[in-house]
Structure 1
Amino acid sequence: MTTNPRVRQDSDGSPAVSPGVNNPLFARFYAWRSPSTQRSGGADRRRQLLAGISGNVIEVGAGNGLNFAHYPPQVTRVLAVEPDPHLGELARQAARSAPVPVEVVDGMAEEMPTDDASFGTAVACLTLCSVTDPDAALLEMHRVLWPGGRLHFYEHVRAEPPVLHGLQRIVDATIWPRLFGGCHCSRDTSAAITRAGFAMEQVDRFRAPDLPLPVPTAPHILGTAVRVDSGSSAA
């Protein structure tokens, strides 16, 4: 296996420390709001996301570790990558009571501190909306998975109805990313997953919350995709 050639190095040849992300107000708001989202269906969705996973797993953008309690016992190790220092510390606390071994490390989705083809499963949970470069992040997930490895994803995404999509574009261009830690509502994450070299296996689409009002983050996808070799078709 080879290490990521894009990972920066210090003068002594050791990996440089990632600059990370620091959104202290949003991180604390997210942690404060987490219990209510878990009770209102979030925990069930996370269990659905992680069902059937086994072996060696990398979780990208672990947040405060809400997924950790839901990993099946067949998982032998989770490497959880989180750039925000406050959420990372909360994730380390959650890892202590997780039912499977979890190691939380600092790192960016676009530059993950691990070797090529070293994991059977990658998990992206409400992460790709807020990374700086979702295409680069998905290429990294493709890189760290071995051929045939699976990406499990749970993300809010671009709306199909024109009115809601228009609202998403307006809030993305104005206040939303500033208020919510870089979050964007109108990203076409399904297309980005395919573009990065994954073949979709299963995609469930739903609204959460399912309200009559146009909530910009309501459209979601949850499913799995398989890493395809560069010489194969992702049809």
Structure 2
Amino acid sequence: MPKPIKHPAFARFYTKLAGPGLEKAGLAEHRRRLLTGLSGEVVEVGAGNGLNFPHYPPEVKRLVAVEPEPRLRARAEQQARSAPVPVETANGRAEQLPFADGSFDAAVACLTLCSVADPHAALAEFHRVLRPGGQLRFFEHVQADAPAMRRVQRALDATVWPALMGGCHTGRDTQAAITAPGFTLTTVDQFTFPATRIPSPAATHMLGTAVRPDLGET
């Protein structure tokens, strides 16, 4: 069994304060955009406290929600009881998923790749557990476009931000990381969220879909 990743202070902060505030600011709508059209068997890695669960469409026949933080996973288990699709929760790390090759039709990463220890290893695992033609759905905050903000992101990521925010990094080049193991990007929408007058190092977000190519494709 993988060793739990414990961030108790962040788990309490996100569940009681940051999470509800972001949902009201429009995060719930982005969750719906992320999950629309999914079907079959799906794995969500870094499921947190299960806020995505109500937005899964009924065509999803099985959802496996992986979350290594025990407090968040316990809340996800509670949320699963009222979810519109069958949900199984599991302890696991993105870099070493406890599933066989080709187990799922889709994988979901929602505000997850910023905080995993090794995003390249995690994406290689997503690629492995997807069936040929399977989709990766992603919604992440990512590297900013402006050079000045990128410098701010690098400074924060090298110092206080990960320690304060549950391992989160503000400036990862997630688009490049997604394509590295062989995914093909099909849709990418980059935008600022939440919309504020004061620039934030965690405001640049990317939402989209990538596909694991079919074995018969060249």
Note if 1:175 corresponds to 2:160. yes
Give 1:124 shift: 0.2
Aligned to 1:28: 12
Secondary structure at the aligned position of 1:121 is classed as strand
1:38-73 Cα offsets, whole Å, 9 max, x none, are 111010000000000011000000000000000001
Letter in 2 for 1:110: E
Give 1:211 shift: 2.4
Aligned to 1:200: 185
Give me the whole-angstrom Cα distance separating, in 2, the residues matched to 1:124 and 1:197: 16
Secondary structure at the aligned position of 2:108 is classed as strand
% identity of equivalent residues: 57
Aligned to 2:96: 111
Give me the whole-angstrom Cα distance separating, in 2, the residues matched to 1:31 and 1:107: 20
1:162-187 Cα offsets, whole Å, 9 max, x none, are 01111101111110001001100110
Structure 1: segments with no counterpart, 5+ residues: 1-16
Match for residue 32 of structure 2 among 37, 44, 47: 47
Indicate if the aligned counterparts of 2:132 and 2:215 stay in contact, CA closer than 8 A. no
Secondary structure at the aligned position of 1:214 is classed as coil
Indicate if the aligned counterparts of 1:165 and 1:186 stay in contact, CA closer than 8 A. yes
Match for residue 45 of structure 2 among 52, 60, 63: 60
Secondary structure at the aligned position of 1:112 is classed as coil
Give 1:81 shift: 0.4
Q: Identify the range of structure 1 (186-195 vs 206-215) with the bigger mean alpha-carbon deviation.
A: 206-215
Aligned to 2:138: 153
Give me the whole-angstrom Cα distance separating, in 2, the residues matched to 1:76 and 1:161: 42
Aligned to 1:4: none
Give me the whole-angstrom Cα distance separating, in 2, the residues matched to 1:229 and 1:175: 42
Note if 1:76 corresponds to 2:61. yes
Aligned to 2:148: 163
Larger Rg: 1
Secondary structure at the aligned position of 1:129 is classed as coil
Letter in 2 for 1:119: F
Give me the whole-angstrom Cα distance separating, in 1, the residues matched to 2:197 and 2:14: 24
Secondary structure at the aligned position of 1:168 is classed as helix
Give me the whole-angstrom Cα distance separating, in 2, the residues matched to 1:169 and 1:231: 40
Secondary structure at the aligned position of 1:78 is classed as strand
1:23-42 Cα offsets, whole Å, 9 max, x none, are 10001111112122111101
Secondary structure at the aligned position of 2:211 is classed as strand
Aligned to 1:7: none
Note if 1:90 corresponds to 2:75. yes
Letter in 2 for 1:29: F
Note if 1:189 corresponds to 2:136. no
Matched length: 217
Indicate if the aligned counterparts of 1:109 and 1:137 stay in contact, CA closer than 8 A. yes
Structure 2 length normalisation: TM-score?
Answer: 0.97
